[in-house]
Amino acid sequence: MELPSASSLVGPRRGGDRKPKRLGKAVLALAAAALVALVIVLSLLYSSASKPRIEGLEPSVAEPGSVVSLKGRNFGQERGDSRIEVDGVVPTSSAYISWSDSGISVRLPASVDSGLVRVLTSRGRSNAMLFMNRARLPVPTAGTKKGRAGPFIASLSSDSGQIGSLLVLTGLDFGASRGSASVFFAWSAESDGAPASGDQAAPSVVCPSEADYAYELWSDKEIRLRVPDGAVSGPVYVETGRGRSNAFFFRVAEGPGSKRYSSGTVYALSAGVSITKVKASGANELYLWAPLPVTSSSQRLVRVLDEDPKPVVPDYRGTALFHFENLAAGKSLSVDQSFLVQSFEVEAAVEAKALALPPRDAPAQAAAYAAADELVPSDAPEILAALKKAAGNERGSWKAVRLIMDWLGKNLAWTERPQADRPLDALKAGRADSYAYAIVACALLRKAGVPALPVAGCLIDPKRKAVRHYWLEAYVYGLGWVPIDPVLASGASPGGSPPAWEERSRYLSGVDSRRVAFSRGLTKLAPMTSGGRRAAKERRWSFQSFYEESSGALDAYSSFWGDIEVTGMY
């Protein structure tokens, strides 16, 4: 049997046929390109792997002038031109005691305050570790009881944890019940989870919010709570009516993304209520619940400047409670309030897979704000039907949040005036005012397994005009509450004034500082009388179950709740 020759398998060669040569050149070119790409990738990997990295700082709390040790890798065998920085301050050459590839010992300059420590070498800039000036930590007031007066922290269950994680404080004299006492954590603007540089002489603090169900147990010797939204690494202490405790350093671990606060604006506000046309035939009572601006990680320094008359309860579940007795026929009365509020911009960068794996010990708000309530109808069939269109089977992730917001932007048009009384009717009509828009968006998120709450308040334009407005917040374990303003993200301009951010997509994970919030979620108030007649006020600047309650022979009256007035911006 004669086998075919190699030339017959290839086929006859014709003059000018150079395909094999061209193919060879193409293969060589591809190989060269692949080699270049491989070199670049290896170079990048080497650069990343060879950058200095700090893995430990000891001690992390000390006085300036103390010797600290940094443990890590890729520092270099000799210092040479390398250096460390503490909040931008560089120690002198004589301050370095030792330097090796895995450890550095250095005496900090006396001028150093609390700040971030980094190592800088020819291979790059390291990650940061936080150093705290011990002099800036709060200390208990001296007393007669073994040198201690008031609350005392003996230990923390952990020296680090994420936002929302459980923290247990053990000690003495916390009080049998919490009352007005609080646990305080460090807070900082212009940061993504670590204190900003600059003057740290009076470090800001944040405490858990009542709306977050953060306190799980409070007894005289133990406090169980969740690390609050906005907390950063720094001192933790307890403050009660008997004084302030000693402090422990607590490191807030990295979460699924970052969040920063900036551009704080201070507003002076006033509000008023008028009662006229009173008809009464005997003894009677009238209660008014006037909403107060909320205190949160992004809204701070909330102060009541004046109230006339003085409320019987200054702060009852986020409202000031006013009480009037035996109103006479034809009598008129008024309530006037003025406030000072500092509002911050908030911007978050959330990882796509965030929320996908909730922890076993999820905080209480994760369940509370994932269920339907009197305000948010997340269990309605209309919401489920809309969710299937918006997010398909995607549930419990930040991707679901983005899908829902994108669907709303395309299928729910914003209108200045309400088109329907119920948010569900607005969803069906495809047109919603800011109130209905926020409620529908919040309901969709809850149905998708994302804890969310609506926020009521006002937008404030540069000319000091306040416009009632509503937005929402979604909770991400390890990161905290992420604000979302779907109305501004859709391109709308409530009140006719364009928003602070031209790039509207920023409102899908942040809000500007041109706003003041009066409530986060529904405030459920308790009636003061058993047979009282209660009046609710919808689409106001606060979500609360009712605003007024009358009883006895108060036959009729007329009430007018004025809009918020901005009397100053700073």
Do 293 and 197 share a domain, yes or no? Answer: no
The closest alpha carbon to 434, from 476, 360, 495, belongs to 495
Structural domain contains residue 491: yes
Residue 513 lies in a domain: yes
- What average pLDDT does the segment 381-403 reach? 96
| 455 and 374 housed in the same domain | yes
CB atoms within 10 A of CB 554: 22
Domains of the chain: total: 4
Which of 88, 112, 133 is the last residue before a domain boundary?
133
Q: For residue range 314-346, list pLDDT tens digits in order.
A: 999 999 999 999 999 999 999 999 999 999 999
User: What is the pTM assigned to this prediction?
Assistant: 0.75
Instruction: Judge if 367 and 497 occupy the same domain.
Output: yes
Rounded mean pLDDT, 19-42: 56
- Of 485, 427, 420, 437, the C-alpha closest to 459 is 485
3-class DSSP state of 165: coil
DSSP letters, 479-502, are TEEEEE-HHHHTT--GGGPPPS-S
Tell me whether residue 471 is in a domain: yes
**Separation between Cα atoms, residue 457 and residue 115, nearest integer Å:** 35
Q: What span, in angstroms and rounded, lies between the C-alpha atoms of 119 and 129? A: 10
pLDDT band, very low/low/confident/very high, at 118 (cuts 50, 70, 90): confident
- Taking Cα atoms as reference points, which of 261, 257, 341, 258 lies closest to residue 298? 261
Q: Does residue 4 lie within any of the structural domains? A: no
Going by C-alpha positions, the residue among 105, 92, 90 that lies closest to residue 58 is 105
How buried is residue 144: exposed, middle or buried, by Cβ count under 10 Å (0-12/13-18/19+)? exposed
DSSP code of 179? T
Of the three residues 106, 133, 160, the one that is the final residue of a domain is 133
- Is residue 270 domain-shared with residue 333, that is, in the same domain? yes
pLDDT value at position 133? 73
- Dig out the tokens for 404 from the structure: 């829902």
CATH number, domain of 486, equals: 3.10.620.30
Q: Which residues have CB under 8 Å from 457's CB, separation 6+?
A: 293, 468, 469, 470, 515, 516, 517, 518, 519, 541, 542
Q: Which residues pair with 272 in a beta bridge?
A: 336
- Report yes or no on 44 lying in a domain: no
Residues 235 and 95 in one domain: no
pLDDT tens, position by position, 404-417:
999 999 999 999 98
| Separation of alpha carbons 413 and 486, rounded Å | 11
Q: Are residues 207 and 308 in the same domain?
A: no
Indicate the residue among 86, 116, 133 that finishes a domain: 133
Beta carbons of 422 and 430 less than 8 angstroms apart: no
Q: Are residues 105 and 174 in the same domain?
A: no
Task: Tell whether 270 and 250 lie within a shared domain.
Answer: no
pLDDT digits (tens, 9 = 90+) for 140-151: 444 434 455 789
Structural domain contains residue 385: yes
Distances (CA, A) of 390 to 203, 295, 414: 43, 33, 17
pLDDT for 89 equals: 80
Yes or no: say if 285 and 552 are a contact pair by the CB < 8 Å rule.
Answer: yes
pLDDT at position 199: 34
Q: Per-residue confidence at 137, pLDDT binned at 50, 70, 90?
A: low
Is 247:156 a contact under the CB 8 Å cutoff?
Answer: no
pLDDT digits (tens, 9 = 90+) for 239-272: 999 999 999 999 999 899 999 999 899 999 999 9
Judge contact between 393 and 399, C-beta under 8 A: no
- CA distances 355 to 254, 333, 541, Å, are 15, 50, 30
5 inside domain? no
Residue 24 pLDDT grade (very low, low, confident, very high; cuts 50, 70, 90): low
pLDDT at 129: 80
111: CATH: 2.60.40.10
In a domain, 295, yes or no: yes
Residue 94 has pLDDT above 90, yes or no: no
Shared domain for 398 and 339, answered yes or no, is no
Q: What is the 3-state secondary structure (H, E, C) of 507-532?
A: HHCEECCCEEEEEECCECCCCCCCCC
Please answer whether residues 378 and 371 qualify as being in contact, where contact means their C-beta atoms are separated by less than 8 angstroms: yes
Residues 404 and 468 both lie in one domain: yes
One domain, residues 320 and 372 = no
Q: Are residues 172 and 204 in the same domain?
A: yes
Expressed as residue numbers, the domain containing 420 is 351-520
Instruction: Provide the token pair at 506.
Output: 């920023």
pLDDT digits (tens, 9 = 90+) for 421-470: 899 999 999 999 999 999 999 999 999 999 999 999 999 999 999 999 99
Asked if pLDDT for residue 205 goes beyond 70, the answer is yes
What rounded mean pLDDT belongs to the chain? 87
